[in-house]
Amino acid sequence: MKYFITLIALLWLQSTFAQAFSGKGDVKFQVGANFQNNGTGIMGSLDFGVGENISLGVASTYLLGVEKITDLEGNEEPFAKFEDRFDFRARFNANLGNVINVDENFDVYPGLYASLKNFGAHLGARYFFTSGFGVFTEVSIPISKYNTDSLTPAEKLHNQVSFNVGASFNI
């Protein structure tokens, strides 16, 4: 019983040190699912704290499940090639958790990104249960698409509103 109480006390004490964003030198890794029209996939991001409320990072998404089309011979195949399914982004975040001050384990981070497909904005939130593990959610919207012509269904991938949800880790 003594060991059990000690273990519970240590876990509770450890959870009080969990922080969603601690400023300069903070490193966050996130991995999760990406949802958008005509496709679902996986995403990952890595953010580096460069100031009290500023982080810079990279993010990438690859769509695994895309709708299929039927070709002239009656065969079903995905309408999107690798270059349409993949996107890579450089991103800037303004980490506002300590400004909003809801909970020290909670962070809200609006930001901007430049990707292989467009320039856009995102709004995310993460909550850490322990000092190393939490959950996140993010929504991204394109502001300016690099291709200004009418987009094919494959080119619309990553050029539309997308939603991400997953796990966040403190590194």
Judged against a pLDDT cut of 90, whether residue 168 lies above it is answered with yes
**What is the dihedral sign for C-alpha 9, 11, 14, 15?**
negative
Q: Is 114 exposed, middle or buried (0-12, 13-18, 19+ CB in 10 A)?
A: middle
Determine which helix (DSSP H) or strand (DSSP E) holds 83, and give its type and residue range.
helix 82-85
* CATH (residue range 2-170): 2.40.160.20
Task: Give the number of other CB atoms < 10 A from CB of residue 71.
Answer: 10
- Convert the pLDDT of each residue in 113-163 to its tens digit: 999 999 999 999 999 999 899 999 999 999 999 888 888 888 888 999 999
Give 54-67 pLDDT, tens digit per residue.
999 999 999 998 87
**Rounded CA gap, 127 and 166, in Å?**
11
State pLDDT tens for residues 67-106: 776 666 767 777 788 888 999 999 999 999 888 888 889 9
Domain ranges of the chain: 2-170
pTM of the model: 0.79
